[in-house]
A and B are shown apart, each in its own frame.
Chain A
Amino acid sequence: MQSKVSLIAGALCAASVTACVTINIYFPAAAAEKVADRIIDDVYQLKPDTAKPNEGGGAAPK
């Protein structure tokens, strides 16, 4: 009886440890979205339109 219980407990412990490792290497999509938004907003600079957009031919200085 006792050895059966310790076997089960051991198996559960092993399972917990495995689960932990699995979670740790899982891709953190929410965190990735957060950094993506930070970088993208910075690139787009989505602030009120202060600058007049360049029209047509003016797009290529130099």
Chain B
Amino acid sequence: MVHRIWRYFVVLSLLAGVGAHAAQEPNLTIDTPGITALRKGLRDNFRQLRPLLESGAVGLTRDGNVGLRDASSVPLAQRAQVNALIAQSNQDRAALYREIAIANGHPEWENDIRGIFAQRWIDRSRSGWYYQNTTGAWVRKP
């Protein structure tokens, strides 16, 4: 009897181990029409954003958005357009983080996903672009 119980336990533990191992390496899906559309929107938006990142007018914020860093480097006539560009990009980013969380069945992951993206937008940015460090100060990427 005792042996049988232990055998059950061993089998269950093995199964749990296999389950846990499989669960540790899940892939997140980004294959939904919503996410595909948001990626296209971000790409299109980025074409116009890129020169502003290169000039330092716009920087990457620590919370996974873009922000106006140096308004004075944008001619007055273009300022409204630049602000709209930033707002559009941030709206798409927020929707992207939310959609990835929802597509993977965990809406509560939205902020974790935002945190990962915030770090990776900065890590993969180009030399010369500005980003916010953990205290919120603007830093030029060497």
User: A residues bordering B, Cβ < 8 Å?
Assistant: 2, 5-6, 9, 12-13, 16-17, 19-20, 23-46, 53-60
- Chain B CB within 10 Å, residue with most, of A2, A40, A57: A40
User: B residues bordering A, Cβ < 8 Å?
Assistant: 1-2, 5-6, 8-9, 12-13, 16, 19-20, 23-28, 30, 39, 42-43, 46, 48, 50-52, 54-55, 75, 78, 81, 96, 100, 106, 109, 112-113, 116-117, 120-121, 124-126
What's the dominant secondary structure at chain B's contact region? helix
Does the CB pair B55–A56 fall under 8 Å? Answer: yes
Does the CB pair B26–A59 fall under 8 Å? Answer: no
Give the nearest-CB partner of A17 in chain B. B16
B46 is contacted by which of A13, A38, A44, A56 (Cβ under 8 Å)? A44
Does the CB pair B124–A46 fall under 8 Å? Answer: yes
* Besides A13-B9, A19-B20, A20-B20, 11 new A-B residue pairs in contact (Cβ under 8 A), listed by A number: A17-B16, A32-B100, A32-B112, A32-B113, A36-B113, A40-B120, A40-B124, A43-B46, A44-B124, A44-B126, A57-B75
